[in-house]
Chain A
């Protein structure tokens, strides 16, 4: 009854009912799924010629070899530097840009079209041009990662600003908040879930961009490990960096989710769902 909640003594957060059977934790389901896929892969992968495919135990052995010789760590270091810098720049520039485009009519009309077009830009085709501008080294790799990661962040931030309920802005106005305060204290927090979704989407694109950059510029990093082992028909070794990249993306995604729950805890609470 509403009047019970009105008294203020009863907590409205639904408490876990002790009598109910606890549902299986999500991590157990995920882990079982991964184990099942690995087992199937192992069984069927062994039937295939090792040039055309590989299987988990062979990949693990190749991983061990790359790790012991130190090749893996130097490749990872070479890849992560441009990746992290490009990704960080995309976040630092993308969020304010999205806020400005979403917040100001003129900016939206003047710049929105480039963002929409840029999202669909065939970046691979532009890499040769970027090489002419920036050379074959570190800078061009940062640029490729930055350009791939920037657009989903800008677009999501922009859409988030547009989706802020008008009434919340009117709350600010009715208390005579200046526009800058409304942007910082109402629009920005209301947009945060969208921004975080954009940052998540950008992870996958940034990882792909990093490998593309390593293929098309100076062959280096994890991309070089992929190319060299593929050229030697060493399929198991080729899978090592690919799997490392996918695991890295999962890790980053988890980290972003953790940051999201820390900076915007109300969102998960409102949605009524704990995400892991």
Chain B
């Protein structure tokens, strides 16, 4: 076992200082070292998108990054988006449009969509489908997710 590396990562506004193995994945760090289990792991090869978090504001596959790469950086996970009593309009829209079934892919979609909606406040159906084409969902067939995004865009514009 190799030497541990000290990292300081800001996650959802809170600074965490930990000693980690160089090979520890960012997804495992968030989920098991920090107990933030909202980020899910579906494939560990960067295809399904369930592990998507924001890294200095950009969506990244946390399964393809190491925790040490996050040293000194800011991460936003789904837990930082809203609470059960105070959901983000995007989360509210997902509920209203029935865009959640098993919920496993959901955090990845939310984190991918947040920067997309900030840059595209009035997206078309085609633009939305392209934006989410990097996130797999096996339950919904995507339609209600697309509807949720349109609804969220509307909510976020007002």
Say if A and B assemble together. Answer: no
B interface, CB within 8 angstroms of A: none
A interface, CB within 8 angstroms of B: none
